[in-house]
Amino acid sequence: MNKTQHFALVLALSVGACAPKGSSSTGVGNPGVISLSIVLDDEFDAQPEGFGGATGEGGSSASEPQGGAVATAGADSTGAGGAGGGTGVSGPEGDPLPRASVRHALIVLGSLRWLPCDTTLEPVVLRGPFSVDLLGNLLGERTQPPIPDAVEPAGGFCGLEAPLAPAFAPDSLAGRSLFFDGVRSDGTPFVLDANVEATLRVRRHDSIVWNAAMTPAVLWAFRPRRWLSRMALDQTPPMPEDGEAGAPPDLVVDVNRHPPLLGAVRRGLAGNSSLFRDLNENRRLDPEDREALVGDGSDDPD
């Protein structure tokens, strides 16, 4: 059994064992509750015109940015510009990572905080941690434990926040909130396996209020191939000490050695995500769901 297989087996057993009883979402469509599913969006190149994208503070939700944030080692990434215009994500148009280059993309959400439109009300907090395997090749299930339904307050919801948090178990993931790896175009493996601190945010699109009548089931769609641009990754040299002895070095993304890359990933996590109505409540992002955009991800992780 190789390292990845061992990681997958132990992670699946550990988070499955600690899933709270009764946490499964069974109230899809019931009055007064909203069901959330976190899904992979790997078909973003065919999005409709006017599609929502990153909406960092002061930004615009006019369109989705075409490309991840560009950063090179030794130069700070400002995150300005981009095809979306004011989205806070920069990069050459059409420069996401190729599908084959990303092997795993797993985030750990400490909680989910639903924000009422009535700001005098307290957020509805669903406590985790929730381990989200976007590619579905480590946990087998996209999210463990399942996300409970959120009980709708008077006036509905206008926002969603999810702070990353370190996993409790297994040992291979304990203390970490992000596991993102793959192979770049020259064959060099890359990995970001760390306790990344960030708060992922979604805000309503076009003043749409989220409530049980209009949005009984929603999909939070992430795009890990846009967490880094191909150019940023290819231009960052690996360190000689990375990787195994006698083998070509891996690119291990480290907060001290690669702050621009880490910053780009932090902005891209929610900044390249959107919230859609799950029209047929099948917990999958179908083509028709793309026409039912209700929330824009923010690229402000702080």
For 159-188, the three-class secondary structure string (H helix, E strand, C coil) is: EEEEEECCECCCCCCECCCEEEEEECCCCC
pLDDT at 243: 54
Contact 64, 95 (CB under 8 A): no
Rounded Cα gap, residues 57 and 54, in angstroms:
10
Rounded Cα gap, residues 238 and 190, in angstroms:
9
Per-block mean pLDDT, blocks of 10 residues, the chain (302 long): 42 36 38 92 62 37 30 30 31 71 94 97 96 85 90 96 88 84 89 93 96 96 94 82 60 79 93 97 95 96 93
Region at 22 (left for phi over 0; alpha for psi -120 to 50; beta for the rest): left
pLDDT at 131: 93
The dihedrals phi and psi of 166, each to the nearest 5 degrees, come to -70, 145
With 0-12 CB in 10 A as exposed, 13-18 as middle and 19+ as buried, what is 21?
A: exposed
Closest listed residue to residue 200, CA positions, set 228, 219, 220, 174 = 220
In the chain, where does DSSP find H-type helix? Answer: 3-17, 230-234, 259-271
Rounded Cα gap, residues 282 and 262, in angstroms:
34
pLDDT at 242: 56
How do beta strands 33-40 and 217-222 pair?
parallel
The dihedrals phi and psi of 37, each to the nearest 5 degrees, come to -120, 140
pLDDT at 92: 35
Contact 254, 237 (CB under 8 A): no
Q: What is the pTM of this model?
A: 0.75
pLDDT at 248: 61
